[in-house]
Structure 1
Amino acid sequence: MIKIFIDAATHQSKALSAGGMVLIKDNKQEQIHQPLSASTNNEAEFEMLVFALTHLRNQSLTNEIIFIYTDSKIVIESLQKKYAKDPRFSKHLATILELSSQFPTLFIEWIDEKDNKGADNLARQGLQKALKSHS
């Protein structure tokens, strides 16, 4: 079983975003922060889920039991409806749905922000790194 916690952070005025991911497998923890191309936090949350699913696929982990946790209600609601009104979200949602179909046992669930501190910290670290490289 694999557990993944994801989050995103965005600097609105500079339109820079980064994501954080904590991956737990076999009692080992991997921490990743990732620069993102999104200019809004909601879009960055979608982009981070795409990154997590792509990372799992690239690591040949599609046949594992996978739980992905996010504190983004808009991502979860869009997944449940299989619809996103905003076209920026729609393209990511389509990618997420396509990637998700490659995982036989995948659960993507909402968690409260207070339960997602690890991914939040990594996203903020990634954003600070992106801000330094763009200054």
Structure 2
Amino acid sequence: MFSLYTDAATQPQTGLSAGGILIIHDHQQTQLSAPLTATTNHTAEFEIARLGFEKLATLATDPAHTTVLFYTDSQIVNDSVAKHYAKHYQHLVDDLLAAQAPFQLVLTQWVPEKQNRGAHTLANQALHSAEDVK
């Protein structure tokens, strides 16, 4: 079983976004951050979640027999995955569901930001780095 936490950070004035990914398996953490192409926070949340599952697929020995506990502080990501639908973000929902498809079971849970501190911190660090480069 893997636990996957993702979070995105966006600077509205510049349109820069970055995300953080925290993967926990067998009491070991994998921490990743990445600049994102998204220019709004909602799209950034979907993008980093997809990237998190893509990375997890490379780490899991056998995704078809792997359960993932997916934690997000994005209400729209949580609701959209549950419904397999989002009025303005359907292509992003489809991309995320496709990234989840290789796994045996994905249990998605919304968590408050304070319970997603690891991914949140990684996202903010990556955003500050992106701002420094720009």
TM-score if structure 2 supplies the norm length? 0.93
Measured after TM superposition, the shift of residue 108 of structure 1 is 1.6
Is the counterpart of residue 106 in structure 1 residue 106 in structure 2? yes
Q: What is the root-mean-square deviation of aligned Cα atoms in Å?
A: 1.2
67, 73, 76: which one pairs with 2:75? Answer: 73
Structure 1 runs of 4+ with >2 Å offset:
58-61
* SS of residue matched to 1:68: strand
Which segments of 5 or more consecutive residues in structure 1 lack a partner in the other structure?
none
Distance 1:18 1:69 in 2: 17
Determine the structure 2 residue equivalent to 1:24.
Answer: 24
Distance 2:31 2:53 in 1: 15
* SS of residue matched to 1:48: helix
Distance 2:5 2:60 in 1: 19
Determine the structure 1 residue equivalent to 2:130.
Answer: 130
Measured after TM superposition, the shift of residue 83 of structure 1 is 1.0
Distance 1:27 1:58 in 2: 18
1:1-135 equivalence runs, <5 A: 1-61=1-61, 62=63, 63-86=65-88, 89-134=89-134
Contact in 1 for aligned 2:10/2:16 (Cα 8 Å): yes
Which segments of 5 or more consecutive residues in structure 2 lack a partner in the other structure?
none
TM-score if structure 1 supplies the norm length? 0.92
* Aligned residue type for 2:76: I
Distance 2:32 2:39 in 1: 20
Measured after TM superposition, the shift of residue 99 of structure 1 is 2.1
**How many residues end up aligned between the 2 structures?**
132
Distance 1:65 1:79 in 2: 16
Distance 1:101 1:28 in 2: 24
C-alpha deviations, 1:91-112, integer Å up to 9, x for none? 1111111222211121121111
Structure 1 residues 98, 121: closer, same or farther in 2, change over 3 A? same
